[in-house]
Amino acid sequence: MENTKPLLSVRDLKVYFDLDEGTVKSVDGISFDAYEGKVVGIVGESGCGKSVTMKSILRIVEKPGRIVEGDILLQKRDNPNEYLNLVKMKENGKEIRAVRGGEIALIPQEPMSAFSPIHTIGDQITEAILLHNPVDKEEARRICIESLKSVGMSMPEKRLDSYSWQLSGGLRQRAIIAMAIVCKPRLLIADEPTTAIDVTTQAQVLKLLKKLQMERNMGILFITHDLGVIAQMAQYVVVMYLGRIMEKGPVDSIFHNPKHPYTQALLRSIPSIQKTTKVKLPTISGSIPHPFNKPSGCPFHPRCNNWIRGKCEKSLPPEYMVGEGQSASCFLYEGSEEVIHE
């Protein structure tokens, strides 16, 4: 029987950084769900809060960052009707360490810095296995080889004893994916996993992630600024701007019928083979405000061509239903049903 309840529920999450210059509201009240066997794409410009959201889920936000409000609920493996609240766990406690790598795994943005240069990749992957499984070193090594095989690593028995700096970018990326999936996590967070690799290798990595997701029925949170990758990978899309969610919904709805002015502007700026050649791509007017000087009201209103004077600059818009499973935080849809997150 298919599990229709969310694997992960993020509810009204707020993550602030208290600095000498002021408070940066990196994530400012976001809510979304992730399901097993589905890919949720989180997209937005640099500085919108995508990576801080990921770090909050894993409880690895660096000081002085702190979760000031909200819940991160993870469905229990043995009881789909009960949830663990990750926010309530101690950052370095036994409970959250069991979740990291065991239940939720991460593919970081840069595998070169994720691996230690003074330990072999085999040592680092087997360490993860021994941490989460009651096996000996010999069995851990066998599981490690199987994991490297599953990600298409050639000669895994030999690569096991290589250092990360001895591998090409594509092989390093496969090794980091092998380490992420080795303990059979239910949710995989991929943080810009194709940023540091060439286009050919990028296509191979995306194909591999799709294959693993289907084989293992994993949920994936795919964080990127690349809308083309989102269109290829995700079933559901969350569009972020300045720490808030502007719009979310099924991938087809977001790409073919975007409702929020920010989503529409993002999509207009993508090159297309249908567009007239030698014509400048449209850009979003203005620039992203400094995090210490966020605009009042809707964070996007200073750059929006459709803003409503006397409303958008004064109040944060609620989340309105604008289609089947699609919602937008925009006063243009005032009068539509408001979304209430329980």
Question: 211-265 pLDDT, tens per residue?
Answer: 888 888 999 999 988 888 898 899 999 999 999 999 999 999 999 999 999 999 8
Q: What is the pTM of this model?
A: 0.89
What's the mean pLDDT in 78-101? Answer: 90
CA distances from 175 to 26, 150, 195 (A): 31, 10, 16
pLDDT of residue 277: 62
Separation CA 282–CA 237 (nearest Å): 22
Separation CA 315–CA 311 (nearest Å): 6
Separation CA 14–CA 87 (nearest Å): 11
CA atoms within 13 A on the CB side of 288: 13
Q: How many CB atoms lie within 10 A of CB 90?
A: 10
Q: Could you tell me which residues come within 8 angstroms of residue 318 by beta carbon, excluding any fewer than 6 positions away?
A: 329, 338, 339
Q: Could you tell me which residues come within 8 angstroms of residue 83 by beta carbon, excluding any fewer than 6 positions away?
A: 9, 73, 74, 75, 76
Q: Could you tell me which residues come within 8 angstroms of residue 171 by beta carbon, excluding any fewer than 6 positions away?
A: 153, 159
Q: Which of 129-133, 257-261, 287-291 is predicted least confidently? A: 287-291
Separation CA 318–CA 244 (nearest Å): 11
Q: 311: exposed, middle or buried (C-beta count within 10 Å: 0-12, 13-18, 19+)?
A: middle
| Residue 318 pLDDT class (50, 70, 90 cuts) | very high
Structure confidence by residue, pLDDT tens digits, 38-69: 999 999 888 888 989 999 999 999 999 999 99
Q: How many CB atoms lie within 10 A of CB 47?
A: 18
| CB-based contact 74:68 (threshold 8 Å) | no
pLDDT of residue 1: 43
